[in-house]
Amino acid sequence: MDLVDTATEEGRRLAVQVTELKSKAAGLESASNISDGFSHRQTFGGVEVTYAVFQRSNERNRGPGVYITGIRRVNKDDSGKDHAPGLYRVDFSAGRGWEISDSPCDNISTTVGAIGAVFSGGRYSAGETGRSFGGYFTEKLSGGKLNDGFSLYYAPSYLVDSLGVWRTSEQKTNPQGAGPKQLAQLFKATLPWSSSANPEVKYEWYVFGEGAKMLSLALNEYKGSAPAR
């Protein structure tokens, strides 16, 4: 009741959308928790609803159905209007500054990279992330290291939270997706694991904010399978 005012037209519409979860729960418009197959999440206007779907009775429910486990105000934009999470390239353009674009390949094409996302103006923005990180690199790194731009693994914190790792609605329709496993695969495809690799190539990766959660989980993917070096 604190988040949805049913005395307003918008509030009534949101209330109807939430109650309709029982008929369309866990669909392509929702995010799904990889750590817990029962848990899902969906955004309605300014409200984010986390819920669990149970097909049969167990110790976590009172019978089959859709159970709302959390409601909070939206503090992000994952509607697809901005860039979806994943790997991008950021280059400096005279007169326009740092600009983000799709990565031209399925590995890391630059020696400098960043993991994280910037929260600005009440939402996450890949464009603002590229500009912010680019400004940081311009100040902290020598020009030669950035002459070919940098790679950005855009990872808003909602991909990983206290409830686990979430597979977003974009990931359900885009098989490339984004997440710890995909980041681990990028590292594996790019970094010089073999002894014959060029030792002169030095990769520098910078982790910002809660991007540390993403990196930590990506490194966990290597447990038991690290190369012998």
- Mapping DSSP onto H, E and C, the string for 165-207 reads EEECHHHHHCCCCCCHHHHHHHHHHHCCCCCCCCCCCCCEEEE
pLDDT of residue 69: 87
Rounded to an integer, the average pLDDT of 6-34 is 80
pLDDT of residue 216: 92
Surface-to-core class of residue 197, CB atoms within 10 Å of its CB (0-12 exposed, 13-18 middle, 19+ buried)? exposed
Question: pLDDT (tens digit, 9 = 90+) per residue, 147-176?
Answer: 779 999 999 887 788 888 888 776 676 655
CA angle 97, 186, 158 (to 5 degrees): 70
Given a contact cutoff of 8 angstroms between Cβ atoms, the answer to whether 171 and 28 are in contact is no
pLDDT of residue 162: 82
Among 46-50, 55-59, 81-85, 98-102, whose mean pLDDT is lowest? 81-85
Rounded to an integer, the average pLDDT of 71-93 is 74
